[in-house]
Amino acid sequence: MLTLHFAPNSRAGRILWLLEELGLEYKLNRMDFHPKDLKSDEHRARHPLGRVPVLDDDDVTLYESGAIVEYLVARHSDGTLRPSVGSPLFPEFLQWFHYCEGMVMPPINTIVVQTLLLPAERRNEEVLAQAQRLLSKALSPLESATAGRDYMVGDFSATDIMMGHACFMSRRLGCVDENLTNLNGYIDRIQARPAFQLAINA
């Protein structure tokens, strides 16, 4: 049985979304996004830094959301949600899959810290403004990448699990300009998926 160790408003939402898209049976260990749960001895035994998501699959335990997405698609799907290695779409699939964590999520992390996690007296407006500029630059190529497409690469895929969640979070933080019509349309399509709605509201 798959078990997802989950806290709301985190990357764990990606994994819950993917489990629902794949129609897999799973158990959800829902924790508060708070040190009392995430930094407990019990959870640190799963993840040394006390973070989420963590996935248990019998004798396999994995953390890092990208690794978990790749694992679930490789081991628990029927070949869907990823183009074949020989497909002309495969290189672009890989590019956007990894662009998410390499370019989009780092400034999102900083924005979340500077607006939500730190107490007001420790926040730094210059650091926040720099992160907002970096996120804007990171999102800019996605406007052209989503032109004339429903999803990032061909049909809905694991890249959309990664990038769609990150783009949704970017817009929720007020960092997706309304003039980015292609990107906003993409986020609307992601947000309309029933499995996404379930995961984001869990």
CATH number for the domain harbouring residue 168: 1.20.1050.10
Closest alpha carbon to 32 in 52, 61, 57: 52
pLDDT in tens, 81-136: 999 999 999 999 999 999 999 999 999 999 999 999 999 999 999 999 999 999 99
Position 179 confidence tier, pLDDT thresholds 50, 70, 90: very high
Q: Which long-range contacts (CB under 8 A, 24 or more apart) does 111-117 make?
A: 111/135, 111/173, 111/175, 112/173, 115/173
Does 117 lie in the same domain as 23? no
Say if residue 109 is in the same domain as residue 187.
yes
Q: Do 167 and 108 share a structural domain?
A: yes
* Domain termination site, one of 21, 52, 76: 76
Q: Are residues 109 and 185 in the same domain?
A: yes
As a whole number of angstroms, the distance between CA 81 and CA 69 comes to: 10
Domain count, the chain: 2
Q: What is the pLDDT of residues 50-64, one digit of tens each?
A: 999 999 999 999 999
Q: Is it true that the peptide bond before 53 is cis, omega within 30 degrees of 0?
A: yes
Q: Are residues 97 and 66 located together in one domain of the fold?
A: no
Phi and psi at 49, nearest 5°, equal: -100, 0
Place of tokens 């019990």: 42
| Domain harbouring 51, CATH code | 3.40.30.10
Query: Is residue 85 a part of any domain in this protein?
Result: no
Question: Residue 202 falls within a domain, yes or no?
Answer: no
As a whole number, mean pLDDT of residues 183-197 equals: 98
Last residue of a domain, one of 46, 76, 106: 76
Going by pLDDT thresholds of 50, 70 and 90, the confidence category of residue 33 is confident
Closest by Cα among 89, 47, 82 to 64: 47
* Residue 200 located in a structural domain: no
If asked whether residues 95 and 69 sit together in one domain, one would say no
Report the pLDDT value the prediction gives residue 79, as an integer from 0 to 100. Answer: 85
Q: What are the tens digits of pLDDT across the range 133-149?
A: 999 999 999 999 999 99
- Domain residue limits at 161: 90-193
The three-class DSSP label of residue 112 is helix
Q: In a 10 Å sphere around its CB, with 0-12 CB exposed, 13-18 middle and 19+ buried, how is residue 155 labelled?
A: exposed
Task: Give pLDDT, residue 168.
Answer: 98
Neighbours of 134 (CB within 10 A): 17
67-97 b/e with 16+ CB inside 10 Å = b? ebbbbbbeeebeeebbbeeeeebeebbeebb
CA pair distance 183, 143, nearest whole angstrom = 5
| Percent of the chain predicted with pLDDT > 90 | 96
Q: Is residue 130 part of a domain?
A: yes
Clarify whether residues 110 and 16 are in a common domain. Answer: no
